[in-house]
Amino acid sequence: MIITRRKLLKTSAAAGAAGLAAPYFFTRAAQAADAVEVGVLFSLTGGLSIVEKSLADATKMAIDEINAEGGVNGMMIKPIVEDGASDPKTYNEKASKLVIQDRVPTVFGSYTSASRKAVLPVFEKRRNLYFYPTYYEGFECSKNVVYTGAVPNQQLSNFIPWIIKNLGKKKFFIVGSNYIYPREMAKVSKILIEQNGGEWIADEYLELGHSEWGAMVKKIKDSGCDVVLSNVVGDSVVAFYREYKNQGLTHDKLPICATVTSEIEIAAMGAEFAVGSYTSFPYFQAIATDRNQAFVERYRKYVNDPKAVTHHALESSYFQVYLWKQALEKAGEATPEAIREGVKGQVFEAPNGTVTVEPENLHTFLTPRIAQWGADGQGSIIDEYAAPVKPLPYVAYGETADNLFCTAKGLDTSKL
């Protein structure tokens, strides 16, 4: 269905007349005539801003590109930008403001699972729509979230077997920041480690934002492990890798294999601290396609920084806006319910390759890749799947491509 201004005016008028008969209304003048407002909710201050500022920039860049091409069927997208301030409580407050006060039909936001969990009740209660761009631990099934980052079967199911087979490393020291994402990723990792003939000898955590890593690195050094699986997040990544080198540990002998460390953290710490370590992501700046290199150059120009780096969560923040645009064009009206239906099965040629929204669980098909970090701060891609992989948010609990636990009907708890 094609969107028109008349269609949106009609939709808004009907909503106003319906009173309390509908769950939520989008009656703001901007929604009805020349623009569609959306929320952009990331941490612009605090410890997580090291990453999240770039996600906000990528989101706004996509919006500006779409607007420059005429918007969504002639209607401009107007972002309302809020700061989550690296604090889950603030995230909840800002999400409520965007949904209840500003009445946006969609919000793009969050980096950590802690912030996603903080805003989720707002979107569930109001039946609004949230686009979440970050790789995450899975074990979630919401009709109100579109997940465009990797889930464990797109990030760990390739990584753990590769580490054991190709690096010959079998004794894992698992370390992470102390909240849901690292703990759940560790749970998945332990299953995969044992399934592939390895063992985990430690599972340790420090608080998010922790900067004193001396004792933890000493514990790693004395543990007898031969590989470190890192789920450390935010600016703690910088402190961890620097202390690792300061204590004489090298990645050629005792490599860090990470699920979080990206181009942006390496740029912050200095490339010399990560040389020889590994990360598993569907996207790296080093992807050698014309589409990706053009994307990198556009992003650098947009932020006015010729040395700016791109990374997985940034790239997902960018392409999910285009998925939303296509969904809105298909939906014909700017309501969460219509956009949610419209996004199912949407396909887009993203910088990382072809991405598709799985209609059943609203997660995204992505291509798993592994890279080793070099002295230039870039990852050399050393393993890559031939095609995108179906997202399985419950893979750790037995979910398969032929037996989905999360479907359009909801979560089948009997399978857990």
pTM, to two decimals: 0.90
Task: Give DSSP secondary structure letters for 12-75.
Answer: HHHHHHHGGGSS-----HHHHTTEEEEEEEE-SSSTTHHHHHHHHHHHHHHHHHHHHTTTBTTB
**382 in the same domain as 242:** yes
Q: Is 353 part of a structural domain of the chain?
A: yes
- Contact call for residues 365 and 380 (beta carbons, < 8 A): no
Question: In this structure, is residue 412 part of a structural domain?
Answer: no
Longest pairwise C-alpha distance within the chain: 70
Does residue 270 sit in the same domain as residue 380?
yes
Extract the tokens encoding 392: 């399985």
| Together in a domain, 224 and 265 | yes
Is residue 232 included in any domain, yes or no?
yes
Q: Are residues 246 and 381 in the same domain?
A: yes
Residue 193 within a domain: yes
| One domain, residues 199 and 86 | no
Q: 264 by DSSP, 3-state: which?
A: helix
201: helix, coil or strand? strand
Q: How far apart are the C-alpha atoms of 232 and 112, rounded to whole Å?
A: 11
Expressed as residue numbers, the domain containing 189 is: 153-287+370-388
Chain segment 253-279, per-residue pLDDT in tens: 999 999 999 999 999 999 999 999 999
Residue 278 falls within a domain, yes or no?
Answer: yes
pLDDT at 25 over 70: no
Q: Do residues 130 and 63 touch, judged by C-beta distance below 8 A?
A: no
Q: How confident is the model at residue 209 (pLDDT cuts 50, 70, 90)?
A: confident
Give the CATH number, domain containing residue 187.
3.40.50.2300
pLDDT in tens, 370-389: 999 999 999 999 999 999 99
Find all residues with CB under 8 Å of 68, minimum gap 6, and list them. Answer: none
- pLDDT over 60 at 29, yes or no: no
Whether residue 7 has pLDDT greater than 60: no
Looking at the fold, whether 99 and 162 belong to one and the same domain comes out as no
- The answer on 297 and 225 residing in a single domain is no
Query: Alpha-carbon distance 199 to 355, whole Å?
Result: 34
> What is the predicted pLDDT for the residue at 10?
41
CA angle 190, 196, 198 (to 5 degrees): 65
Cα-based distances in Å from 236 to 26, 56, 205, 212, 268: 41, 21, 11, 9, 11
Question: pLDDT > 90: what percent of the chain?
Answer: 88
Interval 40-62: pLDDT, tens: 999 999 988 988 999 999 999 99
Q: Mind giving me the DSSP string for 146-157?
A: EE-S--GGGTTT
Residue 360 shares a structural domain with residue 377: no
In a domain, 206, yes or no: yes
pLDDT digits (tens, 9 = 90+) for 325-345: 999 999 989 999 999 999 999
Q: How many domains does the chain have?
A: 2
**77, 131: one domain:** yes
Same domain, 243 and 380: yes
Lookup: tokens for 277: 């370590």
Verify that 298 and 178 share a domain, yes or no.
no
Q: Do 337 and 379 have their domain in common?
A: no
- pLDDT, tens digit (0-9, with 9 covering 90-100), for 285-315: 999 999 999 999 999 999 999 999 999 999 9
pLDDT tens for 151-177 read 999 999 999 999 999 999 999 999 999
DSSP 117: H
In a domain, 261, yes or no: yes
Asked if the structure places residue 94 within a domain, the reply is yes
CA atoms within 13 A on the CB side of 81: 14
Cα 123 to Cα 126: distance, rounded to the nearest angstrom: 5
